Amino acid sequence: MIPVETLILFLITTLVVFLSPGPAAIAVTAEAASNGFKKSTFVILGIATANVVFFILSATGIVTLILASYTLFSIIKWIGVAYLLYLGLSAIFGQSGPLSVITDKKTEINAYKIFFKGFVLEISNPKALLYFSALLPQFIDISNPIIPQLIILCLMAIVLDFFCYSLYGYLGSKSRGKFIKPQVIKVINRSAGAMLIFAGIKMASVGR
């Protein structure tokens, strides 16, 4: 059984990390603003699924192998960098960018595409990989059964994922349905694009 003090520390640490603005938060906010809060939950589900994968990899020690391999780590990192730059440039130079006004209510948004967007954003983020590989060992007591501890921490991480990113989704959805001038949308899109590009550049500087 994990001590209550350890659980509280894990909760606070993970909460702060998940609430910190980043590519995933931008993606959730933009999706909620464009297509509503319900659709943004698919982005959140993709992010949470990627974090579960990181959790499993960390628990099985595979993350250690990835971090030890310069090639594997570089592949993951540069995929993430390329995807962030693509999203950023699309937001700046695209017709609508991440924030758009949906006028055709019959238009069906592909939930799988939205889920994939969130999953790729998170799974290709080396900072998330480093975070979980560094985090888990600090909260595991090897003198007690490890599997139950991992299950508890993983469930907590999933709950925090949905809680934190749902806040961003809620904020994004508040702008939906309100009249926003095209000039304002353009500024928001370019700002979001610049933030994504900045995140990509910062991600490129992450070392093992």
pLDDT at 94: 65
Q: Tell me which residue of 92, 91, 85 sits closest to 198, measured CA to CA.
A: 85
SS (H, E, C) the chain: CCCHHHHHHHHHHHHHHHHCCCHHHHHHHHHHHHHCHHHHHHHHHHHHHHHHHHHHHHHHCHHHHHHHCHHHHHHHHHHHHHHHHHHHHHHHHCCCCCCCCCCCCCCCCCHHHHHHHHHHHHHCCHHHHHHHHHHHHHHCCCCCCHHHHHHHHHHHHHHHHHHHHHHHHHHHHHCCCCCCCHHHHHHHHHHHHHHHHHHHHHHHCCCC
Burial degree of 129 (CB within 10 A; 0-12, 13-18, 19+) = buried
Name the token pair of 106: 């019959």
Q: How far apart (Å, rounded) are the C-alpha atoms in residues 152 and 114? A: 28
How many separate domains does the chain show?
A: 1
Query: Rg (Cα) of the chain, in Å, rounded?
Result: 18
On whether the CB atoms of residues 100 and 32 are closer than 8 A, the answer is no
* CA terminus-to-terminus distance, the chain: 32
For the entire predicted model, the pTM comes to: 0.69
Which residue range is the domain that position 177 belongs to? 4-204
pLDDT per residue of the chain (208 residues) written in tens, 0 to 9: 678 888 888 888 788 777 777 778 888 888 888 888 888 999 999 999 998 988 888 777 766 666 677 777 777 678 767 866 877 787 777 654 544 444 444 445 688 888 998 998 888 877 777 677 766 766 777 677 877 888 888 899 899 989 989 988 888 887 665 555 556 566 766 776 777 677 678 767 766 5
pLDDT for the residue numbered 128 = 75
Q: What is the pLDDT of residue 101?
A: 44
pLDDT of residue 185: 60
